[in-house]
């Protein structure tokens, strides 16, 4: 999927500057790390001193309304806060024996900041709340601003820290003068010096240098990759992990920013039941807008103020049939606030949706993934089945097999089947409303803010599915598309109007317009009798503002039926039909070139201009809605077709920001994002192009690029291509240090994990996949998070267009490798019974779905099934009982049971040092906080010898065989095709080796 350099669309610099400002809060945030120092444990306290930032509120008074954990709330409006220092108020409250408090803030007259309806969860000690961000330090502590040494041997260090690449709103300096002690974590608060810079001066006493690390007050650290910073006395700057001494004040000569942004305009509010989606046109500012402040009034709960980082705001959980009013203000980095926008009002009229879920928030490496095409898995409600315009042509009608057949109700009904196989995560195809002639798969998104009605039923909405899965301890990973929409555009952003003549030739295709009907994929329009009605998409009269060339003129060509074809009769990127601010305007030419990221892949995939602020905000706002519903992660479709700079600047930070704000930092850390970076070759780097290789997307940028995202994409592409494969970052995060697990360094992690395309391409046999996979592991940020599968809804191994047909023994061997090697094992629906093996995966409407790899699976699931635990079925009747008796199912259940029992197989690093054997390795996972230490020796199919291993007692999880190692060596005979051995070191206590796990099956014995 490629494109040429000169075709990448460019938007005006003014628009780019506005986008850079308004999305400033979405700068990449490094993952949590601990400073490379001994950090004292916090002592137990029963008071909290809460500081609240006032500059962007400007309320006449400030009140803290709170409830100690487990205790009652204060009487409204709470307790009055007192002045602390410039732009801050504070209040110290007693918590008794409670270890935290829930808090909200208000002006005493009904205006509230309640963290977008979630309240603030605060701990003890010193706490700051600044524009929705909670941190831990005293913002009013003496800053010691004199940068000069004091006579008498006292020395001072003045530090300026650049926040341009970390995006922190709160920054702390944690330091240790040479020969002295470290400050208490998180250190001392830094203050804003100017745009992009924080400052702090500290007294070094008799020392002339100090060790230092920086953090955001919430456990996210910059500790120079574990080495800390050495900072001398005098004035120093720390920028992009480099210390510059004697450079002076970076803010010298920059006048104070006193100019407020312009007011937001074109504010619109659309109701969807008891949810409202608010959007507006970006404001402008001389130095850039950093956030927006949304004030809601109406309802019985009073006014609410919320800070957001984009120009779309989703508000949920509102009261039914109630008028609300929203105004928006823009805020810049200096805290200047614009005048309010005009009010936008709307009314919710639909019944309340199910209560939103909460992501399970556990390490995603613990959860094997089962991948389903929802519309082809199980039919729980036949009333939402739809065949579409291609029902007869495809041959589906003759088979009574409409393309939209499975649904959420069917999936809910069969969650116990998936759990009984042993899977604890379900990857589902996109849920947004689709629109094309053959859109059952979900990748032709039309309304990204609505769930496709063909998937939902009464009592089985998407929210119901999420909640039902969570109730069973199972995660939902939602497939999402940022790269493209349907050929009919994206509702709410841009939809094209095509030309159509409703004559004898074309009346079968173009439907008579019905002004009172809105397409939802399910409802049947009365005039046409179609659910795939298109009367809203065309016009016989040229629309105002049309840009499509030669509107309505005959092309001189005819259709396959012999009908006269007109210009602008079909959406096209090269006709001028799609504005460049929203869509790219070219067809792809080179799949490994730059045009793969700025051109259309197919006529059904209109390519978003993802470097444009309106598109970015549309998509961020849409996917915020699904994050709020409690999904556990996103699988990102066609990730390689968007520049890494755009991911790293915009979309990935937006996901982290939303999950953090809704569910907390720990949930954000474990919100699993994995991208499809299609690299369909067998080498480490995709045809030598780093920009088109999967591992490239797991890294942050290594330098700054132009503020304009389109220009930045080109700059990054050229820079990295010239550096080439030999100059890319490397990582030891997946590898043991001898026999020792080491804390991984995720400081340069982009936020996107990836599907292991190299293993996928080489799964013609397991040994080949293993050899190729480990060869690439030093180039990923952390390959233990790679998603590993044999085949999928797109391809089999070696870019085969058929589902895998290597045979049952080969499948068993593949599974044994996937479930014990690094990465997260993933199975495409039905592979547990070799469903549709060797069948063409997808042939579009040219053949019935029943003959393809996307056939309906529900016939194999008929009957009832109940799972008592993961991999454990307590009862099953009917056809599903026969399915569960298949040999690969038994193999899969035991593999899942063993993997779930041995932490090293889930999250461990690995090594082949000192090991002989075709597929043999050792894995270890250690976690000091939980006391887990798990060490395992694995061999798949063949014999292995392990040298240099720790002495001790090892027990095999497959056979229960016990070996005592006294000379650091263990030899294991070949277990046989598809079989394996997992010798676990017995470390006693909670780390005792489990011995034999499960019962013998057709392969594991």
**Confidence at 36, pLDDT banded by 50, 70, 90:** very low
For residues 742 and 744, give the distance between their C-alpha atoms in angstroms, rounded to a whole number: 6
For residues 735 and 927, give the distance between their C-alpha atoms in angstroms, rounded to a whole number: 16
What tokens were used for 400?
């009574």
Is the pLDDT confidence value at 295 over 70?
yes
Is the pLDDT confidence value at 77 over 60?
yes
Per the CB < 8 A criterion, the answer to whether 422 and 892 are in contact is yes
Whose structure tokens read 């998180």? 186
The SS3 of residue 826 is: strand
Is the pLDDT confidence value at 711 over 80?
yes
Query: How high is the pLDDT of residue 44?
Result: 53
- What's the DSSP call for residue 132? T
Is the pLDDT confidence value at 274 over 90?
no
- What's the DSSP call for residue 583? B
**Confidence at 333, pLDDT banded by 50, 70, 90:** confident
**Confidence at 556, pLDDT banded by 50, 70, 90:** very high
Tell me what the mean pLDDT of segment 810-825 comes to: 98
Q: DSSP of 497-549, one letter per residue?
A: -EE---STTTTTTSPPP-TT----SSSPBTTTTBSS--TTSEESSPPTT--ST
- For residue range 630-670, list pLDDT tens digits in order: 999 999 999 999 999 999 999 999 999 999 999 999 999 99
The closest alpha carbon to 580, from 601, 604, 596, 598, belongs to 598
For CA atoms 484, 486, 487, 491, give the dihedral sign: negative
Range scoring the smallest mean pLDDT among 411-425, 493-507, 897-911, 976-990: 493-507
Is the pLDDT confidence value at 344 over 80?
no
Tell me what the mean pLDDT of segment 962-984 comes to: 98
Tell me what the mean pLDDT of segment 162-173 comes to: 82
Per the CB < 8 A criterion, the answer to whether 87 and 335 are in contact is yes
Cα-Cα-Cα-Cα dihedral of 499, 503, 505, 506, to 10°? Answer: 40
Is the pLDDT confidence value at 2 over 70?
no
User: Exposed e or buried b for every residue in 91-122, given b needs 16+ CB within 10 A?
Assistant: bebebeebebbbbbbbbeeebbbbbbbebbeb
Provide the edge-to-edge strand list for the sheet that holds 915-916.
915-916, 944-947, 969-972
For residues 556 and 46, give the distance between their C-alpha atoms in angstroms, rounded to a whole number: 82
Is the pLDDT confidence value at 32 over 60?
no
For residues 488 and 482, give the distance between their C-alpha atoms in angstroms, rounded to a whole number: 16
Whose structure tokens read 């831990």? 136
The closest alpha carbon to 734, from 705, 704, 775, belongs to 775
For CA atoms 77, 82, 84, 90, give the dihedral sign: negative
Is the pLDDT confidence value at 43 over 70?
no
Going by C-beta distance under 8 Å and a sequence separation of 6 or more, which residues neighbour residue 188?
A: 137, 138, 141, 172, 173, 174, 175, 200, 202
The closest alpha carbon to 110, from 159, 154, 153, 76, belongs to 76
Q: Helix/strand/coil (H, E, C) string of 405-433?
A: CCCHHHHHHCHHHHHHHCCCEEEECCCEE
**Confidence at 40, pLDDT banded by 50, 70, 90:** very low
Which burial class, exposed, middle or buried, applies to 478 when counting CB atoms under 10 A from its CB (0-12, 13-18, 19+)?
buried
Is the pLDDT confidence value at 41 over 80?
no
What tokens were used for 483?
């790269």
For residues 106 and 78, give the distance between their C-alpha atoms in angstroms, rounded to a whole number: 9
CA atoms within 13 A on the CB side of 1003: 27
Q: DSSP of 215-249, one letter per residue?
A: E-SSS-EESTTTT-EEEESEEEEEETTEEEES---
Range scoring the smallest mean pLDDT among 62-71, 157-166, 416-425: 157-166
CA atoms within 13 A on the CB side of 277: 20
Query: How high is the pLDDT of residue 486?
Result: 97
The SS3 of residue 625 is: helix
For residues 451 and 473, give the distance between their C-alpha atoms in angstroms, rounded to a whole number: 23
- Bond preceding residue 77 cis, omega within 30 of 0: yes
Is the pLDDT confidence value at 577 over 90?
yes
Q: Helix/strand/coil (H, E, C) string of 158-224?
A: EEEEECCCCCCCCCEEEEEECCCCCCCCCCEECEEEECCEEEEEEEEECCCEEEEEEECCCCCEECC
Tell me what the mean pLDDT of segment 126-130 comes to: 90
Per the CB < 8 A criterion, the answer to whether 930 and 911 are in contact is no
Tell me what the mean pLDDT of segment 497-520 comes to: 89
- Bond preceding residue 186 cis, omega within 30 of 0: yes
Tell me what the mean pLDDT of segment 491-504 comes to: 91
- For residue range 730-746, list pLDDT tens digits in order: 999 999 999 999 999 99
Using N-to-C axis directions, what is the helix angle for 652-663 and 613-628, rounded to 10°?
A: 30
The SS3 of residue 135 is: strand
Tell me what the mean pLDDT of segment 586-597 comes to: 87
Q: Outline where 642-765 has alpha helix (H).
A: 644-646, 652-663, 665-669, 709-723, 757-761
Q: In this structure, are strands 369-372 and 425-428 parallel, antiparallel, or unpaired?
A: parallel
Whole-structure pTM value = 0.77
Per the CB < 8 A criterion, the answer to whether 680 and 799 are in contact is yes
Q: DSSP of 674-687, one letter per residue?
A: EE-----SSSSSGG
Provide the edge-to-edge strand list for the sheet that holds 197-205.
191-194, 197-205, 155-162, 234-239, 242-245
Query: Residue 994: how many CB atoms within 10 A of its CB?
Result: 15
Going by C-beta distance under 8 Å and a sequence separation of 6 or more, which residues neighbour residue 859?
A: 879
Query: How high is the pLDDT of residue 138?
Result: 84
What tokens were used for 69?
């954990």
Strand partners, 100: none
Which burial class, exposed, middle or buried, applies to 258 when counting CB atoms under 10 A from its CB (0-12, 13-18, 19+)?
exposed
Query: How high is the pLDDT of residue 589?
Result: 87
Is the pLDDT confidence value at 8 over 60?
no
- Which is more confidently placed, 409 or 165? 409
Per the CB < 8 A criterion, the answer to whether 24 and 614 are in contact is no
Range scoring the smallest mean pLDDT among 235-239, 419-423, 734-738: 235-239
Query: How high is the pLDDT of residue 45?
Result: 64
Query: How high is the pLDDT of residue 753?
Result: 98
Q: Outline where 555-642 has alpha helix (H).
A: 613-628
Q: Answer left, alpha or beta for residue 896, where phi above 0 means left and psi between -120 and 50 means alpha.
A: alpha
Query: How high is the pLDDT of residue 145?
Result: 40
Per the CB < 8 A criterion, the answer to whether 783 and 772 are in contact is no
Q: What is the mean pLDDT of the chain?
A: 89
For residues 849 and 391, give the distance between their C-alpha atoms in angstroms, rounded to a whole number: 10
**Confidence at 471, pLDDT banded by 50, 70, 90:** very high
**Confidence at 352, pLDDT banded by 50, 70, 90:** low
Is the pLDDT confidence value at 38 over 60?
no
Per the CB < 8 A criterion, the answer to whether 686 and 695 are in contact is no
The closest alpha carbon to 49, from 189, 219, 220, 212, belongs to 189
Whose structure tokens read 């699988």? 635
Is the pLDDT confidence value at 919 over 60?
yes
**Confidence at 141, pLDDT banded by 50, 70, 90:** confident
Per the CB < 8 A criterion, the answer to whether 300 and 345 are in contact is no
Is the pLDDT confidence value at 218 over 90?
no
Query: Residue 244: how many CB atoms within 10 A of its CB?
Result: 13
Going by C-beta distance under 8 Å and a sequence separation of 6 or more, which residues neighbour residue 814?
A: 763, 766, 769, 790, 806
Query: How high is the pLDDT of residue 734?
Result: 98
Is the pLDDT confidence value at 890 over 80?
yes
- Which is more confidently placed, 842 or 309? 842
**Confidence at 349, pLDDT banded by 50, 70, 90:** low
Going by C-beta distance under 8 Å and a sequence separation of 6 or more, which residues neighbour residue 400?
A: none
Tell me what the mean pLDDT of segment 810-830 comes to: 98
For CA atoms 847, 851, 857, 859, give the dihedral sign: positive
| Whole-number percent of the chain with pLDDT over 90 | 71
- For residue range 943-959, list pLDDT tens digits in order: 999 999 999 999 999 99
What tokens were used for 745?
């360094």
Strand partners, 306: 294
- For residue range 660-705, list pLDDT tens digits in order: 999 999 999 999 999 999 988 888 999 899 999 999 999 999 999 9
Query: How high is the pLDDT of residue 291?
Result: 84
What tokens were used for 244?
């510059």
For residues 49 and 79, give the distance between their C-alpha atoms in angstroms, rounded to a whole number: 13
Which burial class, exposed, middle or buried, applies to 441 when counting CB atoms under 10 A from its CB (0-12, 13-18, 19+)?
buried
Query: Residue 680: how many CB atoms within 10 A of its CB?
Result: 15
For residues 595 and 313, give the distance between their C-alpha atoms in angstroms, rounded to a whole number: 32
């Amino acid at each position: 999927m490629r494109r040429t350099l000169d075709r990448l669309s460019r938007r005006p610099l003014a628009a780019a500057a506005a986008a850079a400002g308004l999305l400033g809060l979405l700068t990449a945030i490094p993952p949590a790390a601990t400073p490379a120092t001994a950090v004292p444990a916090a002592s137990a306290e029963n008071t909290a001193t809460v500081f609240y930032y006032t500059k962007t509120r400007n309320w006449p008074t400030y009140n803290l309304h709170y409830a100690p954990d487990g205790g009652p709330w204060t009487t409204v409006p709470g307790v009055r806060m007192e002045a602390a220092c410039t732009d801050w108020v504070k209040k110290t409250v007693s918590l008794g024996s409670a270890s935290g408090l829930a808090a909200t803030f208000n002006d005493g007259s009904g205006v509230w900041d309640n963290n977008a309806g979630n309240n603030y969860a605060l701990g003890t000690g010193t706490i700051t709340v600044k524009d929705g961000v909670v941190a831990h330090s005293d913002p009013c502590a003496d800053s010691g601003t004199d940068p000069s040494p004091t006579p008498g041997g006292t020395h001072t260090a003045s530090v300026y820290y650049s926040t341009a690449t970390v995006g922190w709103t709160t920054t702390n300096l944690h330091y240790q003068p040479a020969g002295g002690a470290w400050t208490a974590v998180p250190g001392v608060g830094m203050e804003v010096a100017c745009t992009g810079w924080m400052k702090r001066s500290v007294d070094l006493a008799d020392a002339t240098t100090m060790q230092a690390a920086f953090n955001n007050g919430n456990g996210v650290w910059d500790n120079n990759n574990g080495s800390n910073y050495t900072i001398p006395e005098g004035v120093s700057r720390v920028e992009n992990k480099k210390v510059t001494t004697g450079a002076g004040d970076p803010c010298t000569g920059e006048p104070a920013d006193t100019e407020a942004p312009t007011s937001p305009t074109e504010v619109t509010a659309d109701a969807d039941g008891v949810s409202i989606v608010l959007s507006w046109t970006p404001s402008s500012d001389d130095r850039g807008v950093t956030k927006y402040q949304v004030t809601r009034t109406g309802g019985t709960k009073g006014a609410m103020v919320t800070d957001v980082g984009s120009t779309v705001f989703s508000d949920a959980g509102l009261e039914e049939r109630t008028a609300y009013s929203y105004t928006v203000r823009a805020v810049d980095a200096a805290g200047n606030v614009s005048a309010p926008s005009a009010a936008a009002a709307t009314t919710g009229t639909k019944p309340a949706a199910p209560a939103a879920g909460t992501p399970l928030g556990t390490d995603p490496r613990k959860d094997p993934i089962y991948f389903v095409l929802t519309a082809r898995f199980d039919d729980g409600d036949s009333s939402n089945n739809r065949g579409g315009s291609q029902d007869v042509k495809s041959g589906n009608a003759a088979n009574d097999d409409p393309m939209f057949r499975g649904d959420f109700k069917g999936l809910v009904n069969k969650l116990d089947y998936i759990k009984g196989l042993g899977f604890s995560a379900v990857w589902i195809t996109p849920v947004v409303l689709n629109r094309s002639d053959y859109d059952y798969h979900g990748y032709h998104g039309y309304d990204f803010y609505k769930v496709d009605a063909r998937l939902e039923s009464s009592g089985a909405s998407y929210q119901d599915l999420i909640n039902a899965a969570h109730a069973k301890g199972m995660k939902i990973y939602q497939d999402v598309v940022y790269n493209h929409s349907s050929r009919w555009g994206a509702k709410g952003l841009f939809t094209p109007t095509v030309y159509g003549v409703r004559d004898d030739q074309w009346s079968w295709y173009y439907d008579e317009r019905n002004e009172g009907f809105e397409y939802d994929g399910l409802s049947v329009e009365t005039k046409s009798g179609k659910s795939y009605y298109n009367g809203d998409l065309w016009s016989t009269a040229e629309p105002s503002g049309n840009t499509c060339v030669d509107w309505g003129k005959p092309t001189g060509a005819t259709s396959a039926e012999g009908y006269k074809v007109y210009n602008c009769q079909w959406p096209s990127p090269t006709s001028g039909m799609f504005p460049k601010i929203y869509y790219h305007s070219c067809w792809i030419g080179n799949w490994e070139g730059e045009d793969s990221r700025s051109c259309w892949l197919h006529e059904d995939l209109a390519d978003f201009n993802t470097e444009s602020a309106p598109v970015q905000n549309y998509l961020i706002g849409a996917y915020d809605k699904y994050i709020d519903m409690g999904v556990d992660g996103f699988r990102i479709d066609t990730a390689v077709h968007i520049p890494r700079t755009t991911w790293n600047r915009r979309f990935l930070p937006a996901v982290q920001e939303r999950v953090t704000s809704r569910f907390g930092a720990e949930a954000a850390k474990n919100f699993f994002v994995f991208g499809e970076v299609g690299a369909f070759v067998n080498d480490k780097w995709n045809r030598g192009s780093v920009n088109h290789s999967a591992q490239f997307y797991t890294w942050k940028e290594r330098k700054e690029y132009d503020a304009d995202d389109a220009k930045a994409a080109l700059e990054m592409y050229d820079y990295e291509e010239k550096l080439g494969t030999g100059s890319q970052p490397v990582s030891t995060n997946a590898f043991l240090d001898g026999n020792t697990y080491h804390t991984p360094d995720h400081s340069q992690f982009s936020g996107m994990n990836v599907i292991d395309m190299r293993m996928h391409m080489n799964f013609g046999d397991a040994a080949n996949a293993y050899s190729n996979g480990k060869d690439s592991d030093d180039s990923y940020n952390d390959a233990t998070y790679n998603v590993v599968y044999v085949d999928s809804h797109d391809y089999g191994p070696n870019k085969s267009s058929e589902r895998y047909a290597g045979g049952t023994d080969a499948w068993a061997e593949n599974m044994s490798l996937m479930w014990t090697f690094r990465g997260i094992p993933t199975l495409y629906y039905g592979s547990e019974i070799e469903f549709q093996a060797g069948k063409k995966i997808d042939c579009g409407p040219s053949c019935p779905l029943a003959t393809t790899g996307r056939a309906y699976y529900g016939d194999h699931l008929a009957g009832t099934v109940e799972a008592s635990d993961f991999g454990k079925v307590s009862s099953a009747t009917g056809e599903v009982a026969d399915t569960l008796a298949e040999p690969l199912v038994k193999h899969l259940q035991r593999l899942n049971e063993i993997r779930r029992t041995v932490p090293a197989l889930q999250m461990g690093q690995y090594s082949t040092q000192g090991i002989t054997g075709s597929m043999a390795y050792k894995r270890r996972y250690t976690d000091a906080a939980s006391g887990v230490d798990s060490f395992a020796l694995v061999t798949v199919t063949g014999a292995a010898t392990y040298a240099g291993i720790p002495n001790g007692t090892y027990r095999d999880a497959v056979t229960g065989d016990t070996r005592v190692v006294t000379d650091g060596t263990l030899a294991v005979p070949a277990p046989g095709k598809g079989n394996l051995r997992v010798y676990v070191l017995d470390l006693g206590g909670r780390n005792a080796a489990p011995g034999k796990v499960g019962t013998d099956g057709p392969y594991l014995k």
